[in-house]
Structure 1
Amino acid sequence: MSKKPVSSAKTSAKPAGVKPPGKGDHVFLVDGSGYIFRAYHALPPLNRKSDGLQINAVLGFCNMLWKLMRDMPPEDRPTHLAIVFDKSEVTFRNTIYSDYKAHRPPAPDDLIPQFALIREAVHAFDLPCLEQGGFEADDLIATYVREACARGASATIVSSDKDLMQLVTDCVTMYDTMKDRRLGVPEVIEKFGVPPDKVVEVQALAGDSVDNVPGVPGIGVKTAAQLITEYGDLETLLSRATEIKQPKRREALIANAEKARISRQLVLLDDKVKLDVPLDELAIHEPDYRKLISFLKAMEFSTLTRRVADYAEIDASSVMPDERLKSAFAGGPSEASPQTLPLGGEPDTRARGTVSTAPVTTLAAAPVFSPQALAASRAKDVAAAKVDRTKYATIRTADELAAWVTRAHDLGHVAIAIKATSFDPMQADICGIALALSPNEAAYIPLGHKKAGGGDDLFASGLADGQIEAAKVLETLTALLESEAVLKTGFDIKFAAVLLAQHNITLRTVDDVQLMSYALDAGRSSHDIEALAEQWLGHEMIAHADIVGSGRNRISLDQVEIPRAAEYGAESADVIMRLWLVFKARLISERMNNVYESLERPLIDVLARMERRGIMIDRQVLARLSGEFAQSAARLEAEIREIAGEDINPGSPKQLGDVMFGKMGLPGGQKTKTGAWSTTASILEDLAEAGHDFPRKILDWRQVSKLKSTYTDALPTHLLPQTQRVHTTYALAATTTGRLSSNEPNLQNIPVRTEDGRKIRRAFIAAKGHKLVSADYSQIELRLLAEIADIPVLKQAFKDGLDIHAMTASEMFGVPIKDMPGEVRRRAKAINFGIIYGISAFGLANQLGIPREEAGAYIKKYFERFPGIRAYMDATRDFCREHGYVTTLFGRKCHYPDIKASNPSLRAFNERAAINARLQGTAADIIRRAMIRMEDALTQKKLAARMLLQVHDELVFEVPDSEVDKTLPVIREVMEQAPFPATALSVPLRVDARAADNWDEAH
């Protein structure tokens, strides 16, 4: 088959790849090193399905190359093209200044394996891959563009790096492929305030924290541009520095003149490098398309493979993937020694052999970076880099803040920790914001600390000195916090998202080390930051209580002196940065990145918006219920005293125990370590089930008293004055199975199986002109049991829409479904749900009020009728014993390390929990997926419904009256289709969704 021509340049009579550029030609130089990092940070994580290796930077790089070679307009298409890389070795700049680039952060662990693959991509496209010892890529680019322009050709630098902007002329432009934007002289002036030929002068004054170019302290880009515009160049400025009127600026220039001169040498590019590969050899020619397709198939880039195959008119199925690219980067540990990455260093990506258009490196010769080896190496290096609080800074001026923000933009990554006056983000004030850019490079920005001695009297003292105005700090930080190009890493970053939203700042592009830890270690370790720091860093953090005190001596954080608060805050950001380095690598090596990226991180913004919306309550309903509960509690207290035959306090466990087991002699008494009788709920329930009236009255009294104190009395105190709504807070990392928890107030524990509990839900109401919609998964865990255990008869029953409890009763007891007695169905329902939670014969007997032997017979018969369930339970228990965890259908790991405990009770508890975790965890994952998709689905249909609450298998929405009929089908569809496309369930999910004026009626 004939191939389509690349361009007219291909018709040259000279050998392929060799053509002197001249007038009309267009030379493209790609800043390879810079582009790799940009592609990595700009594209979402993408893992190769066959081995889990992350390949997002490789894909970005390949798409860019194909765009340059094939998709550019003919007038902009390159005739000469090369990819230029840095060599990781000392350059002439280190001779000038030994600390040059000394503090660069390490490359992300999941990026390191992609370096060699990107080089392979360059070779697959049959393009020159250039680098030279002693010089940076920028120097080579400067030399090539100078030669191209001297020959009459034009040149394009594929990069957005500010260091290359000094090369822009009428002949040379820069091209940012990610934004499809060209940068010429006007854009450089907009960036630096001076023309390209003066950029070096400005950079010499402003310095560069990323490359550790010193510059002149206190002078930023804007000031530097003003000075250079006024004085012409750096030397003139330095010679006339005594004329500067501003004292601080004058003194800084005089004291740091030599640093400025050195800085100019560091930023000035060398455009006279003796090139190893002549410009003539950069001419584009046709690649070997079969080789290129083989590479793309090995990477599993199906879309780009198809595009290349269609262009080359090759049947892609006839080309085999390059197996070298799979075996050399397989996920298992390598026999080769993994490269150790020192903090602040970069991987050695140098080629083996001569730089030319031939392949520079081969996988056989390249170091092998398995994700596991890199994760272990990174954890070791991070733990070895000790925390040094003396290196932290306190940002007290606008210029200092601007410098930190600029560096964060340049790095593309910053750790943040917001310190506030309260743990409630809806009502807290910001005391300060901590930033960390690399280990021990952290700073605290105080902006709300009060003068000492003010106490609680705000008028007795104002703000402490040495703080930037809060509004200016937030204004300066907004672009950084809202930037999609800069990754913000935090701990429980949802708190920061809600708090910043109160200041009209939308936090974008985030990572949360708490959720990373949760995705990796749910059930086997604590996820609070102090415990994580001790476990992974060997570091004991400053405790919050040590800062603010405790008890009567406790103060709010804004009353803490700035130096102490700064140390505390900066340490938090520093630790977050270090934990991120460890966990990011572990997510890849342990193949948990997909769980984190698809189930944890996307939910942060969703929950933050739900928390801010809150839900309305009817205080009159609550007040009326509180009175009813008070009367019920008083009546029960009187009955309890009458039965006891003495004046007893129902709230005193000691008095209750003495009456029940001492005076009354009830069976089953157990003593605690203190020698007192135990009166736990389980003991009281057992006695109540046995027919004893006194413990039943105690349980009823406890229930109604709890409803009164926890809900009817407490809920009105949670009303936020500004919104007149109740705003709960959701915790994502609180359970082993992935279920969310709710607190302050806890809206997930309101009883729904009792009449009194349902009454409380009536107090949750919709705004005027709206309805509350409750959408609840019907029997989702039973459906998942049928799916995961693969029980044909149960699966078919769900497909046919049968009454599953009646069907179970019919299967077990041989009773026709039609006109089935309610008691028979109730027993089957108790068994169905009990089996999920590992119910015992004793527990089922208590629940149904039947002898234990009869309950045991029911359970035995159940397993005989549905043998797949027993097989599932046994297999799950055995798997957990061997591995220490079970997995959900979506890959979440729920760890149960005590499943091998020597204590029989503890071991049995963990076995039951592990069996249930696969079902409950999968159900939790499904509703998470639904929540993540819900808002986009509603927006797409132009519906105004707002998701307010999540209660286990239920979502609660506030919907305009006029949109209820249109909204219900959308909610049902999103929830029922939530597992797709990750998994296709053979058992259909069903969602019951209703609208009403209050939560109880909607449920």
Structure 2
Amino acid sequence: MASNHLYLVDGSGYIFRAYHRLPPLTNRHGVPAGAVYGFTTMLWKLVNDLHKADGPTHLAVILDASSRTFRNEMYDGYKANRPPPPEDLIPQFPLIRVATRAFSVPCIETEGLEADDIIACYVEAAQAAGWATTIVSSDKDLMQLVRPGVDMLDTMANKRIGREEVIEKWGVPPEQLGDVLALMGDSVDNVPGVPGIGPKTAAQLIQQYGDVETVLASVEEIRKPKLKQSLIDHAANARMSRELVRLKCDAPLPEPLDDLALKGLPPEPLRAFLEDQGFKSLLLKVDGGGNDYRPPAAALPPVTAPATARPAAPEAAEQPAFDHAAYETVVTEEALDRWIAAAIAAGAVAVDTETDDIDCIRAELVGISLSVDPGRACYIPIGHRGDGLLSEVPPQLPRALVLERLRTVLEHPGVLKIGQNLKYDLIMFRRNGIDVAPYDDTMLLSYDLDAGLRGHGMDELSVAHFGHAPIAFKDVCGTGKSQISFDKVQLDRATAYAAEDADVTLRLWRKLKPRLAREEATRVYELVDRPLVPVVAEMEMAGIRVDREELARLSGEFATRIAVLEGEIHALAGGPFTIGSPKQLGEVLFDRLGLKGGRKGKSGVYSTDVNEMERLAEDGVEIATKVLDWRQLSKLKSTYTDALQAQINPASGRVHTSFSLAVAQTGRLSSTDPNLQNIPIRTDIGRRIRDAFVADKGYVLLSADYSQIELRLAAHMADVPQLKAAFADGQDIHALTAQELFGEVNRDTRGRAKTINFSILYGISAFGLAGRLGVDRAEAQAMINRYFDRFPGIRDYIAETLTAVRDKGYVTTLFGRKTHLPGIRSAKQGERQAAERQAINAPIQGTSADIIKRAMARMGPALNAAGLEQVRMLLQVHDELVFELPPEDVDAASAVIRAVMAGAAEPAVRLSVPLGVEIGTGQSWGAAH
């Protein structure tokens, strides 16, 4: 059992992060000291705070002694391209060494060795002594050292890096990472690698062959001519690069392990150093009780698994009560600078925006709230104008000044920005010229942890996790005709409301973020959902042009057809009634016309939902068919052809739909205003509505659609040889199913096979399939049985999935997305059966959603790398992406888009079936689809 836990701080990483983290500062002697101050605050936080969760017993800061090491003897060009450090950073290097020693922490460096090598030597020694080790860094070279008992801590992202995280990032485990780094090279360190091999190709080669030497020995097996030739031509460089990236771990230790014992923060010599530098805020901590470190008395358990499971922040029980009176209204530059400094020192800040409209494309910023600790929050008004013409504008700082000062925090790579539904805030800041990064989103954290258990809005999460109901918007702005916009709210009430939002968001982050690794949700959050936030923000800002005249023409045509249908329905009903009234429609169908099968709910009203109407229509009841047509046309007219005209933004001339990132349980995106997911896909009416979505002048629209992706994923996940072979060979999958089930392929059998293929994946019953195919229940059951006989993998997948969901209460996608299905344990048979149907489909549909999200996140960088900056992604609907681009870019863009979509699952997930992508172009979405 390990009794010691060694922390090794990559000093160079800390120094440069600290340098870029703060604006230029000088100490009281006039010497540049921004990096010194940042380094000092970061080291303080590590030494004084981290022990509460992780218990370091030994600590050292490791530095580079000089720029020339044994690697330069191997290869004179090693690190030759690195620019010299910034001029104002050079005098800070010796001060940082003094600062480290002032903390009574060893500061270790050795001539001829890089800091990474010294760290490797200490890791080996600590492992031999049975100690746990944490490397405080995010450097890729150091990831080679991760193993049971050794993890990394990225303090900028507040994230632990264990074996699983290395595999997620690089596609290979830590012990093979050096081979990947050798093949891909490193332009910063001037490690040559092999030209033409990037991270993805390198990972694929090492996954297949194991190491660099085996790759070079197997070069004749490589089918890609350019790759093969490059490996042949640059084999010597590959071997040399492997030695350059190999960490030296057998050098003598500069100081014994026991000499690295953490002694806490003794006031001296720390106080003397802080006084000399003039770091007053840190002096207050020394003199005012901020130092609460005590070395742990008890032995610590060994680190036997990736340490990401350990919480990085205190749980809610340790947090103070909500106190609106404690929130600050920031109306002076001094106060603003104080909050900015506090956010930078904390390294993480919750951010929320207040606006005068819920539409983030039309809205204007009214204020920004920040929170750096539970209970410690502020509101910065910038757009309040008073309630009424005669009311005075309240005191507030100039908008431009506030935004420019906040830019230092919001764009700071060393400060994590935390938001709740951050997409909205990203859009507001981007519209004001600020790119927020890095970031976390508490809504997505909740979504990836608890999908299916609750909603993920801030108010609901606050009640669920803290038992606290935040101030409601209506309590601040009113409702109905008396409602006011937020820019007219008095500052004291605005501060209580807005600062509380930031406070709740920070507390949620502290509550939810530590659960990611413990509950195995890191993969889907980091690889799928979080990267999508700025991508979707860009799509919403881009919008899409719609043809107002075409919409008006369609509205008129639909109105005429609706009127005709109303007349026909009234005639069939024997008199007029309100078709849109379920009560009147039920009475007409089951009382006046005497149709069979009517069922009443608790209210005594007949059900006329879509299932009931489709049942009647399938029985040949003409009035039911016409009511369904009337409903569809009425909905399409009100939702699209009428509403879209009102939704055109006057400034852009485009419609800007709002994509929802955390609504659908399976992980799919949804959209509102307009809801693009509900446009009929295979009907003439749906195509005509799509025809109204058009390209700008001089551009075309391109539609890229995954072909039968859910069937392909089912073939992979259920391991069905016939289906996998058919997809690999490009066969007609529905024809193959028809041949397997019915012994022949014609239009009728192929149509039935298509219905069965999709229905099985939705857990359909014999009764449901009978209704869809127009056969009796026994024949439908026989078809299902025959399907399972031909494709036993599907039957086994369904059985295994249902067994797992009954045991765990949730199902997962290939990327680890959980869909909780509490109904699986319901006492009501109907609820259980519905949950079973969801359980069968959710892993497949959810994996499909994960894959297209990964494609979306990768699309922009891939297009830009190909010189296709004018190609813009506008829409995502189900399995389809819609782009706007110049006609001359269609061929090049199609190749890039197809490649990104086809390879979106890799390297995190390797599929045994190819992902087909169908691409079309045209002046309208309808023509391209």
Q: In the TM superposition, what are the counterparts of 1:780-795 in structure 2 within 5 Å?
A: 780-795=709-724
Match of 1:689 among 618, 622, 626: 618
Q: Give distance in 2, aligned partners of 1:404 and 1:291.
A: 39
CA contact (8 A) 2:394 2:491 kept: no
The equivalent of 2:923 in structure 1 is 997
1:948-998 per-residue CA deviation (whole Å, 9 max, x = no partner) reads: 000010000001011111111111111011111112111111000011111
Match of 1:973 among 899, 907, 910: 899
The equivalent of 1:614 in structure 2 is 543
- 1:378 is paired with a residue of what secondary structure? coil
The equivalent of 1:603 in structure 2 is 532
Structure 1 gaps, min length 5: 1-29, 44-83, 89-100, 129-153, 157-177, 198-266, 318-323, 325-343, 353-360, 455-459
The equivalent of 1:931 in structure 2 is 856
Q: Give distance in 1, aligned partners of 2:370 and 2:123.
A: 44
Q: Give distance in 1, aligned partners of 2:907 and 2:19.
A: 24
For the pair 1:860 / 2:789, whether they are aligned, the reply is no
Match of 2:493 among 556, 560, 564: 564
The equivalent of 2:315 in structure 1 is 379
CA contact (8 A) 1:413 1:486 kept: yes
Q: In the TM superposition, what are the counterparts of 1:511-526 in structure 2 within 5 Å?
A: 511-526=440-455
The equivalent of 2:593 in structure 1 is 664
Q: Give distance in 1, aligned partners of 2:431 and 2:424.
A: 11
For the pair 1:470 / 2:399, whether they are aligned, the reply is yes
CA contact (8 A) 1:486 1:509 kept: yes
TM-score, structure 2 normalization = 0.74
Q: Give distance in 1, aligned partners of 2:435 and 2:103.
A: 50
Q: In the TM superposition, what are the counterparts of 1:798-813 in structure 2 within 5 Å?
A: 798-813=727-742
Q: 1:851 to 1:754 in 2, by over 3 A?
A: same
The equivalent of 2:885 in structure 1 is 959
Q: What amino acid does structure 1 have at the position aligned with 2:314?
A: R
- 1:776 is paired with a residue of what secondary structure? strand
Q: What amino acid does structure 2 have at the position aligned with 1:691?
A: G
Q: In the TM superposition, what are the counterparts of 1:511-590 in structure 2 within 5 Å?
A: 511-590=440-519
The equivalent of 1:869 in structure 2 is 794
Q: In the TM superposition, what are the counterparts of 1:173-252 in structure 2 within 5 Å?
A: 181=85
For the pair 1:700 / 2:629, whether they are aligned, the reply is yes
The equivalent of 1:397 in structure 2 is 332
Aligned-residue offset at 1:828: 0.4
Match of 2:365 among 414, 419, 430: 430
CA contact (8 A) 2:19 2:89 kept: no
For the pair 1:913 / 2:838, whether they are aligned, the reply is yes
Q: Give distance in 1, aligned partners of 2:487 and 2:119.
A: 66
The equivalent of 1:484 in structure 2 is 413
Q: 1:628 to 1:31 in 2, by over 3 A?
A: same
CA contact (8 A) 2:823 2:835 kept: yes
Match of 1:827 among 742, 749, 752: 752
For the pair 1:629 / 2:564, whether they are aligned, the reply is no
Aligned residues: 747
Q: Give distance in 2, aligned partners of 1:634 and 1:671.
A: 29
Q: What amino acid does structure 2 have at the position aligned with 1:413?
A: A
Percent identity of equivalent pairs? 43
Aligned-residue offset at 1:624: 1.2
CA contact (8 A) 1:87 1:349 kept: no
- 2:341 is paired with a residue of what secondary structure? helix
Aligned-residue offset at 1:406: 2.1
The equivalent of 2:343 in structure 1 is 408
Q: 1:889 to 1:778 in 2, by over 3 A?
A: same
Q: Give distance in 2, aligned partners of 1:706 and 1:105.
A: 62
TM-score, structure 1 normalization = 0.69
Q: Give distance in 2, aligned partners of 1:275 and 1:629.
A: 79
For the pair 1:893 / 2:818, whether they are aligned, the reply is yes
1:289-345 per-residue CA deviation (whole Å, 9 max, x = no partner) reads: 87756863634654569999947999999xxxxxx9xxxxxxxxxxxxxxxxxxx98
- 1:742 is paired with a residue of what secondary structure? strand
1:338-375 per-residue CA deviation (whole Å, 9 max, x = no partner) reads: xxxxxx989958488xxxxxxxx996799999655647
CA contact (8 A) 1:309 1:315 kept: no
Q: What amino acid does structure 2 have at the position aligned with 1:181?
A: P
CA contact (8 A) 1:773 1:1002 kept: yes
Q: In the TM superposition, what are the counterparts of 1:95-494 in structure 2 within 5 Å?
A: 113=54, 115=56, 119=59, 181=85, 296=145, 298=147, 299=150, 301-302=174-175, 303=177, 310=243, 350=295, 372=309, 374=311, 378-382=314-318, 384-452=319-387, 454=388, 460-461=389-390, 464-494=393-423
- 2:315 is paired with a residue of what secondary structure? helix
Q: What amino acid does structure 2 have at the position aligned with 1:718?
A: Q
Match of 2:776 among 837, 851, 859: 851
Match of 1:945 among 859, 868, 871: 871
Q: Give distance in 2, aligned partners of 1:947 and 1:112.
A: 43
Q: 1:272 to 1:800 in 2, by over 3 A?
A: closer
- 1:489 is paired with a residue of what secondary structure? strand
1:114-158 per-residue CA deviation (whole Å, 9 max, x = no partner) reads: 956x84x87xx8x99xxxxxxxxxxxxxxxxxxxxxxxxx999xx
For the pair 1:779 / 2:722, whether they are aligned, the reply is no
Q: What amino acid does structure 2 have at the position aligned with 1:913?
A: Q
Q: Give distance in 2, aligned partners of 1:580 and 1:801.
A: 46
Q: Give distance in 1, aligned partners of 2:325 and 2:821.
A: 40
Aligned-residue offset at 1:179: 9.9
Q: Give distance in 2, aligned partners of 1:675 and 1:155.
A: 85
Q: Return the index of the structure with the highest Cα Rg.
A: 1
Match of 2:686 among 757, 780, 785: 757
Which stretch of the first structure deviates more once superposed, 773-782 or 285-294?
285-294
- 1:713 is paired with a residue of what secondary structure? helix
Q: 1:180 to 1:271 in 2, by over 3 A?
A: closer
Q: Give distance in 1, aligned partners of 2:867 and 2:103.
A: 62
Q: 1:659 to 1:414 in 2, by over 3 A?
A: same
CA contact (8 A) 2:446 2:456 kept: yes
Q: Give distance in 2, aligned partners of 1:272 and 1:529.
A: 44
Structure 2 gaps, min length 5: 1-6, 21-38, 68-81, 128-144, 151-162, 164-173, 183-240, 251-256, 258-288
Q: Give distance in 2, aligned partners of 1:862 and 1:367.
A: 46
Match of 1:507 among 419, 436, 456: 436
CA contact (8 A) 1:730 1:741 kept: yes
Q: Give distance in 2, aligned partners of 1:729 and 1:407.
A: 34
Q: Give distance in 2, aligned partners of 1:863 and 1:87.
A: 60
CA contact (8 A) 2:53 2:310 kept: no
For the pair 1:881 / 2:817, whether they are aligned, the reply is no
Q: What amino acid does structure 1 have at the position aligned with 2:326?
A: K
CA contact (8 A) 1:614 1:948 kept: yes
Match of 1:814 among 743, 753, 761: 743
1:604-637 per-residue CA deviation (whole Å, 9 max, x = no partner) reads: 1100101000001111111111111111101100
CA contact (8 A) 2:374 2:503 kept: yes
1:62-97 per-residue CA deviation (whole Å, 9 max, x = no partner) reads: xxxxxxxxxxxxxxxxxxxxxx99999xxxxxxxxx
Aligned-residue offset at 1:841: 2.0
Q: What amino acid does structure 2 have at the position aligned with 1:687?
A: L
